[in-house]
Amino acid sequence: MGDADGDQARYAVPPGTLVAVAPPRSSSPSRAYAVEPDGTVAELPLAEAEDRIDPEGAGRRAWRRRTSRCGLGERPFRFDAAAGHGYEADVIYDWAGEEYVAACTRATARCVWMRAVTYEEARELGIA
């Protein structure tokens, strides 16, 4: 049941605390909030909240977001290509508006096989 102010719960939370909120019947947060030093509460993007909690993993998560936007996964996927497409195996390409995220694993005259560049590969190449 809600309190006198409606359906909002009230908690005393110290400054510097991050709070993640998941919708009912879900364990995945959809919103995050930070209690500022002056006691105010500010909503944060989930990615920023994750980076505050785990700064060491920030680069890996940023790369994962970048490659997920391009629609490629870890396993190569075959795409039809126009004759004279110019793709070559073992070359990294821009894909779906993201720079240097697609690894071409095989290319024929009419098809290319592409997969997302892994975080480890991206670090080795200096692009992550």
Mind listing the pLDDT tens digit for each residue in 66-113? 999 999 999 999 999 999 999 999 999 999 999 999 999 999 999 999
The parent domain of residue 102 ranges over 73-128
| Domain contains 29 | no
| Domain contains 64 | no
| Domain contains 119 | yes
| Domain contains 12 | no
| Domain contains 25 | no
| Domain contains 7 | no
Beta-sheet strands, E only, within 3-76? 18-21, 31-35, 41-44
Residue found by looking up tokens 């110019």 in the block: 86
| Domain contains 128 | yes
Residue found by looking up tokens 């690894």 in the block: 103
pLDDT at 85: 96
pLDDT category of residue 116 using cuts at 50, 70 and 90 = very high
Q: What is the pLDDT of residues 31-76, one digit of tens each?
A: 999 999 998 899 999 999 999 999 999 999 999 999 999 999 999 9
pLDDT at 11: 79
pLDDT at 1: 40
Determine the Cα–Cα distance for residues 59 and 64; give it in Å rounded to an integer.
9
| Domain contains 99 | yes
Using alpha carbons, select from 56, 54, 59 the residue that is nearest to residue 123: 59
Determine the Cα–Cα distance for residues 88 and 66; give it in Å rounded to an integer.
22
Instruction: Count how many domains the chain has.
Output: 1
